[in-house]
Chains A and B, each alone.
Chain A
Amino acid sequence: AQSVTQLGSHVSVSEGALVLLRCNYSSSVPPYLFWYVQYPNQGLQLLLKYTSAATLVKGINGFEAEFKKSETSFHLTKPSAHMSDAAEYFCAVSGSSASKIIFGSGTRLSIRP
């Protein structure tokens, strides 16, 4: 079985500051890991994915995430926050390329001017 835990339901950072959103996963098989972003009243958009290639994954909008098997983590980072980054971010895991994707509870990112 797979699951993800997102630490912090709400994170607030200043514009230009580092963004760090935490995600820990649990999986009985090598996982596929994803970060999705949801802007207000919109659907889910893929930011980046880990599929057992490089452990440091670069995504859209300047985001990246590092897969750390020893820590069972897949934290999302961005060096410098922009006001447009304000959204809900979901970490997700899948046990295979075909099985369901399980979402974390989400982290709402707010950006202070």
Chain B
Amino acid sequence: EPEVTQTPSHQVTQMGQEVILRCVPISNHLYFYWYRQILGQKVEFLVSFYNNEISEKSEIFDDQFSVERPDGSNFTLKIRSTKLEDSAMYFCASRLATGSNTEAFFGQGTRLTVV
């Protein structure tokens, strides 16, 4: 069964460092998303991406964040200068979004720990 894969599963980084979280969405999907979940809290929308551009972003997704689909298969989230409060689980999702195929498929997540 097709699945969304994320790497790494866990990343530890020092405050102020740049991190890149990687995702391989399901191959025929058209819409891509990043969400984050701070420990014990709700799943929060960060950004959606369609047709090689950001279609929507939340207030959380400030200038420190960027997304890219560099090669037609990977979908990356970059945090330029990490802060302690960026520590969270980051989920990538993809969605076919045609007809009744409306659900998003989520990866297993990358746990980011900023120290």
Q: Do A and B bind each other?
A: yes
Asked if B108 is an interface residue, CB under 8 A from chain A, the answer is yes
In the complex, how many angstroms separate the beta carbon of A68 from the nearest chain B beta carbon? 20
Specify the main secondary structure of chain B where it touches its partner.
strand
Distance A53 CA – B102 CA, assembled complex (angstroms): 13
Task: Mark interface residues in A48-86 (1 if CB within 8 Å of B CB, else 0).
Answer: 010101000000000000000000000000000000000
In the complex, how many angstroms separate the beta carbon of B51 from the nearest chain A beta carbon? 11
- Give residues of chain B (84-115) contacting chain A, Cβ–Cβ below 8 Å: 91, 93, 95, 97-109
Distance A107 CA – B52 CA, assembled complex (angstroms): 35
Q: Which residues of B contact A36 (CB under 8 A)?
A: 106
Asked if A42 is an interface residue, CB under 8 A from chain B, the answer is yes
Q: Which residues of A contact B15 (CB under 8 A)?
A: none
Q: Which of B55, B99, B109 contacts A43 (CB 8 A)?
A: B109
Q: Which residues of A contact B91 (CB under 8 A)?
A: 43-44
Distance A44 CA – B98 CA, assembled complex (angstroms): 21
Q: Which residues of B contact A42 (CB under 8 A)?
A: 108-109
Interface residues of B, count at CB 8 A: 29
Task: Mark interface residues in A16-52 (1 if CB within 8 Å of B CB, else 0).
Answer: 0000000000000000101010000011111001010
Scoring A36, A49, A100 by chain B CB atoms within 10 A of each residue's CB, the highest score goes to A100
Query: B43 touching A51 by the CB < 8 A rule?
Result: no
In the complex, how many angstroms separate the beta carbon of A43 from the nearest chain B beta carbon? 4
Query: B109 touching A99 by the CB < 8 A rule?
Result: no
Distance A64 CA – B29 CA, assembled complex (angstroms): 26
In the complex, how many angstroms separate the beta carbon of B55 from the nearest chain A beta carbon? 8
Q: Which residue of B lies closest to A42 (CB)?
A: B108
Q: Which residues of A contact B101 (CB under 8 A)?
A: 97
Which residues from chain B sit less than 8 Å from chain A, CB to CB?
A: 30-31, 33, 35, 41-45, 48, 50, 55-56, 91, 93, 95, 97-109
Which residues from chain A sit less than 8 Å from chain B, CB to CB?
A: 32, 34, 36, 42-46, 49, 51, 53, 90, 94, 97-106
Known contacts A43-B108, A99-B56; 11 further A-B pairs (Cβ under 8 A): A34-B103, A43-B109, A94-B102, A97-B99, A98-B30, A98-B95, A99-B48, A100-B45, A103-B45, A105-B42, A106-B43
